[in-house]
Each structure stands twice: as structure tokens, then as C-alpha cells.
A and B are shown apart, each in its own frame.
Chain A
């Protein structure tokens, strides 16, 4: 967890990367339902969807976010991301109270495609139990799971 807390905030896109290859930053934790979670220095957990997920979704045109102040358990439906192709539910990777949502996604949902790990974040939780992060997948395990899909 210490490593998570000191993780760099910016993940520069790798220009060498093949456009079909997905980025999976090693500093993050992942849910098999394709959300990422990042423990911030202030103890909150930021949540978004993975690069693999945004590529699978295609152009994102609408995001429904949870209400600030609402309480979610790990695995609860926390919102919906709608692309040109389909609607997908977003689940809370860990439980806690929603302390912030990314309001820029309301007018610019395409940010999810452009920058899934930074500007394209969805919401921030005050976790009820940070140990729940340990139950999530490491970057390697998540990347391996995506390969299987």
C-alpha cells in the first residue's frame, strides 16, 4: 500500500506502444470488471476504467456517476459508462463513501478514451476498509486476464 500511496500521478503514454496494446500501470489495482483503483496520499481511493476497457467500449459518449455522499459496498453498481456501442455498469472496486466525482465527464465523456488513468477518472471514495484493495488484481494479473478475453 505504501507503494500505491507514492505512485506517480502521471502516466505518460508510451509512443512505442502499438495502438492495439493496452496500458496497465503497475502502480494501480484492478477489478476483473475493468475498474482501476488508486490509493491517494490523503487516504482516498480514485476509481476509473482501464485502458483495456475504454478500448473495448469504443468512443464514450455518456457517463453516469454516483452521488457525492452516497455509500457503496465493494461490488456495488456505482454508475454507467455508455459508448457508441453499448452501456456498461461501473462497480465500486472497494467500499466507502463517495467524496468526489469527475464532473468534467458530463460535458467531455471522451476524456475517458483520451486519458483513462488521469483526467478520465470517475469518482473518489473514502474507503471504509483499505484492506479491500488487497483483494483486487495486480497489473500483471489484470493484464493476463484481459489477454484471456
Chain B
């Protein structure tokens, strides 16, 4: 239990324990990996109704002051200038080698004011990275905030009962709302492939807000275990698995996240770390490609296992694996040699000496249901 003592807790720690969560260490926090329902039921509940996730371990930052737009554009290959107020964008902090330091969500709060959500494990490094790029702007780390995610086909109905403004939000847009007197910055976004919301709230009100949401019959608590299988089914990358300092955005299949205006042939080409390497990779193509794998049978494959071609030659490696409860079987993502990455290609995965047949499968494994209005 001594290791538990050194873990940080989220403002919902008491609620998780009350709900019977199995708590595990994750990125320095005690986090619920699952509740008594279990990962598969929690996964399915999110796809059928609505799941409530505590993602308060993620870093919430504010960057503001004259020149903030330019600071962000110097760090990410995204057209931040074009981002409207309360609009959100996915972004990558690239490094000089064209790799990725972290992925994040940027929301514009004002002409020179941005709200950033970064990965828990990369938080300290991201803060230092941002600080080194500042020239007079302020970077504020929101230590006293919680972040909840409400995800699933019933999420909008639930929010509509609490806030009409929230119910009107379309994918990747945010708004300031009040829920029963609690101030919330809500965005229509998430990490499950479903319609849904993320709610940033003062730590002191997080428990009350979570209980308010859980009071809806359609809402059940969902842990990190199902969060991972849901995002994998949705074909979404997880830093440390599909993204790292040695994986460039082209290899990761995230070319779409590089804005047209910031590309080699764009209006404002480059100007972010590793631009030359990434542009070269874009024109020449990467040696490897991120693909989805549908696994034959019920035996799961695991991260780190070798992907083999029909001759038994290693052609790649599994980077994430899960049981796709909605897909109906084990699934995985892998990096494989580019020519073998076409959907329908038959490969196998070496599971402790057994070659388990897999098929390269177009992602997402489960249809995305974002609400675009």
C-alpha cells in the first residue's frame, strides 16, 4: 500500500471507491481501471447509452497573451490562426526529428487565449516545452480542475436535460455553461468515437457534477480499461503506443492533422519542429504504416507481439490490442511494412509461438458517430 500513498488522486477519488472501482496506478495517479460491471459491460454501455469517465489526470493548461497564436504555431503543424473562438483542434507537439512529443487538444477561448488538454504522462514535459517557446505570454497550469467525459448515444439527451446550450454543440466546439449552478466549460469531443462531451469543472464541484450525471439511468461509470478498448475500436491513437518521439505523423497515419496551410505547398509552410523531415516523409512515403488488425478466433493478441507475413517473416509489430466488444472479437493496431498495409491483407501475429491469423482491417472498427450538426 506504500506505493498508493505516493500516487496523486483526482477530485473524484472518493466517488470511485464508493462505486467499487478497481483503482490502479496510471501516470502517477490512482485511477479507476474498471468498476464492478467490468470492462466489456462498460464498453458496451458506452456504445449503447452513455458512459461517464474521469479524465482529471490529464493536464489542463491556459496559454494567453499577445503572440499566443504564433507560439502554438511554432510548436504544432496546425493552422491555429484559422481556429474560431470556442473551436477545437487536435494537434501534435512535434520534435526536430519529426517525431511526436505528445498529442493534445487546443481550444481557442479568445483572440490570444487558448485552453490546452495534454496527456497526463507527458504533462510536465509539455509544460516545459511550452514555456521554452514563450516570449512574454502566460502559461497557467490548472491544478484545481477536474475533467469528466460523458460519451455515448444518450450523452446529448442527458446534457439537454441539464443545459440547452450544451445540447446544441457540434463536434469539436465548446461553450461555457452552468449545470445546477456549477460553472462548466464543455466541449463536444471525446475519445470513444461516440457523440459526447468533455466537461472541465472546478475540483470542488466535480463530485457533485459527476453524481448529477450518474443520476441519469442511461449514465454508468466507465473506467480506463474500457476507455482503451473504445478508443482502439474508434481507431484513435494513444501516446506511447501509436505515437512516440520516434514515430512521425505520416507513419502514424495522421497526415490529416497537418493543416493544408502549414504543408510544404501551403500558404505558410513549415515553421514547426521537424517540418523538413515530415515534409520529406510526406513526399517519399513512410516505410511503415499504422493499420488495424481483426484477429481470427477468440485468442487475443498483445502489444509488442510480432506481425508475420505468410512466409513467417516479421513485417511489423502490434502497438495496441484489446477486446473489441462492439466489433465482436479481439482487435489490434500495428505498424507493418507499407505494402502489406492494404485492407484485406492476410497476416498473422506470433502469440507465444503460435501464428494467429489476422486481417488488415479498415479503421474505425466501430462506426464513428460524431455529431456534426
Question: Does B300 sit at the interface, judged by CB under 8 A?
Answer: yes
Q: Give chain B interface residues in 175-197, CB to chain A under 8 Å.
A: none
B36 touches A19 (CB 8 A): yes
B323 touches A20 (CB 8 A): no
Binds B, one of A3-11, A25-33, A56-64, A94-102: A56-64
A82 touches B299 (CB 8 A): yes
Chain A residue, CB-CB nearest to B38: A59
| B225 touches which of A58, A82, A110 (Cβ 8 Å) | A58
B36 touches A61 (CB 8 A): no
Question: Does A12 sit at the interface, judged by CB under 8 A?
Answer: no
Interface size on A, residues (CB 8 A): 15
Counting contact residues on chain B (CB < 8 A from A), the size range is 10 to 19
B38 touches A113 (CB 8 A): yes
- Among B20, B36, B40, B352, chain A packs the most CB atoms within 10 A around the CB of B40
Chain B residue, CB-CB nearest to A107: B298
A58 touches B38 (CB 8 A): yes
A84 touches B225 (CB 8 A): yes
Q: Give chain A interface residues in 74-97, CB to chain B under 8 Å.
A: 82, 84-85, 87
A84 touches B40 (CB 8 A): yes
| B300 touches which of A19, A87, A110 (Cβ 8 Å) | A87
Q: What sequence of 0s and 1s flags, for each residue 207-236 of chain B, a beta carbon within 8 Å of any chain A beta carbon?
A: 000000000000000000100010000000
Q: What sequence of 0s and 1s flags, for each residue 293-311 of chain B, a beta carbon within 8 Å of any chain A beta carbon?
A: 0000011101000000000
Chain A residue, CB-CB nearest to B228: A84
Q: What sequence of 0s and 1s flags, for each residue 48-73 of chain A, a beta carbon within 8 Å of any chain B beta carbon?
A: 00000000001101101000000000
Closest CB-CB distance, A61 to chain B, in whole Å? 5
Residues on B close to A: CB < 8 A?
20, 34, 36, 38-40, 225, 229, 298-300, 302, 322-323, 330, 352
24 pairs, CB–CB < 8 Å, chain A vs chain B: A19-B20, A20-B36, A58-B34, A58-B38, A58-B39, A58-B225, A59-B38, A59-B39, A59-B40, A59-B323, A61-B298, A61-B323, A62-B298, A62-B299, A62-B300, A62-B330, A82-B299, A82-B300, A84-B39, A84-B322, A85-B225, A87-B300, A106-B298, A113-B38
